[in-house]
Each structure stands twice: as C-alpha cells, then as structure tokens.
Amino acid sequence: MSGEHSNHGNTPAAWTLMVLISIGFVVSTTALVLGSWMGFWIGVAIVALGGVVGGVMKAAGMGQPRDTASSH
C-alpha cells in the first residue's frame, strides 16, 4: 500500500475546486428559485471556472501528487 497518499485530497487545489463549485451551485440554485436565468448561467460559469482553476493549480503542483509506481 505504498501508493496511497496521506493527505486524502486535502490540498490547496482540492479546496479551491470545492469552494468554487459550492459557490457556483449556491448562486445557480438561488437564481433558479428567484427565476433569474442570467444568475443561473453565472452560477454555471462559476462551477466551470472552479474546474479550470482546480486543474491549473494541480498542474502547478498544488494538488495531490501522482503515483510513480504502477498499481498492476
């Protein structure tokens, strides 16, 4: 089990990803309840932005490191 990581996804990239996605869902859900389609799509854009920012941060080395050993 040497391939397991001890941080369980507790990285700056993971936290940023989840915070932005959570904010995006709150914005879009609130806008949908209030009947604002523009607000809904802004929330969807925030969710997409969270995915992009999380991916960029992981690529920059702020995410969980990849396994170098094969699991097979």
Read out DSSP for the chain? -TT--SSTT-SHHHHHHHHHHHHHHHHHHHHHHHT-HHHHHHHHHHHHHHHHHHHHHIIIIISPPPP-S---
Query: What's the total number of domains in the chain?
Result: 1
Residue 21 maps to a domain = yes
Question: Under a CB-based contact definition with an 8 Å cutoff, are residues 24 and 46 in contact?
Answer: yes
Residue 1 maps to a domain = no
Which residue type sits at 55? G
Residue 27 maps to a domain = yes
For 17-44, write each residue's pLDDT tens digit: 999 999 999 999 999 999 999 999 999 9
Per-residue pLDDT band for 63 (boundaries 50, 70, 90) equals confident
Residue 43 maps to a domain = yes
Which residues span the domain enclosing 54?
Answer: 12-59
